[in-house]
Amino acid sequence: MLNVVLFGPPGSGKGTQSAKLIEKYGLVHLSTGDILRAELAAQTELGKEAKRYMDKGELVPDHVVIGMIGRKLDENGKVNGFIFDGFPRTTSQAEALDTLLAGKNTSITLMVALDVPHEELVKRLLNRGKESGRADDQNVEVIENRIRVYHRETAPVIQYYEARNKFYPINGVGSIDEIFSRLCEVIDRHK
């Protein structure tokens, strides 16, 4: 299996690149942000709990997202592999993911991390807020908090994969196709 963690701060282009990667490599896309937004739209208990965190730009508790990913892995038995987008976002989530995958006799192949400067992230997120109407993309305070939370809680996940020789940084500035080729080049070397 080819199991890719697509990593990067909010607004770094993970969603856009995931769509292209799943098509090229035939992978299943697991985005915790998308799953949480679907729960929110369906007004489930999980969605209602998650909304309290998402509205402030805080992380939803680990046990909630780990449970969600566990269920999605079980639902997708025989597949070529997965793209994890927006997960793991903490070191505990990274450890839990390794355990879940080991239970299925597989593991993470590599992590590709999109590098994008701060000002560019804020610009992209505000733009997306205008186009999509996503509440957490429309407020500069919430955006800045998400980027702060990223540096504090999520960036350490890089060390987790670096220690396992699975971390590959990618320049996330350029055209969508340029960035896509950079990702494919690294993935093709390791698959």
Q: Are 2 and 27 in contact (CB under 8 A)?
A: yes
Residue environment code for 7-35, b if the CB has 16+ CB neighbours within 10 A, otherwise e: bbbbbbbbbebbeebbeebebbbbbbbeb
Q: Does 86 help bind ligand ADP (rule: CB under 6 A)?
A: yes
CB of 189 to ligand ADP, least distance (A): 26
Residues of span 37-76 touching ligand ADP by CB under 6 A: 53-54, 57-60, 65
Look up tokens 């995958």; give the residue: 101
**Nearest 10 degrees: Cα torsion 114, 91, 61, 123:** -20
Q: Does 10 help bind ligand ADP (rule: CB under 6 A)?
A: yes
Kindly indicate which of the ranges 20-28, 87-95, 111-119, 176-184 contains the residues binding ligand ADP, using the contact rule CB under 6 A.
Answer: 87-95
Q: Are 72 and 29 in contact (CB under 8 A)?
A: no
Alpha helices by DSSP H, 103-175: 118-132, 140-149, 157-162
For residues 128 and 166, which CB has a smaller minimum distance to ligand ADP in the complex? 128
Asked about 146 being catalytic, the answer comes back as yes
Contacts of 135 (CB under 8 A, 6+ apart): 55
Partner residues linked to 85 by β-bridges: 6, 31
Write the interaction track for ligand ADP spanning residues 135-174; mark x where CB under 6 A is met and - where it is not.
-x---------x----------------------------
Asked about 128 being catalytic, the answer comes back as yes
Among 7, 82, 87, 180, binds ligand ADP (CB under 6 A): 87
CB of 55 to ligand ADP, least distance (A): 8
- Enumerate the active-site residues: 14, 89, 128, 134, 146
Contact footprint for ligand ADP (CB under 6 A): 10-11, 32-33, 36, 53-54, 57-60, 65, 86-87, 89, 93, 136, 146
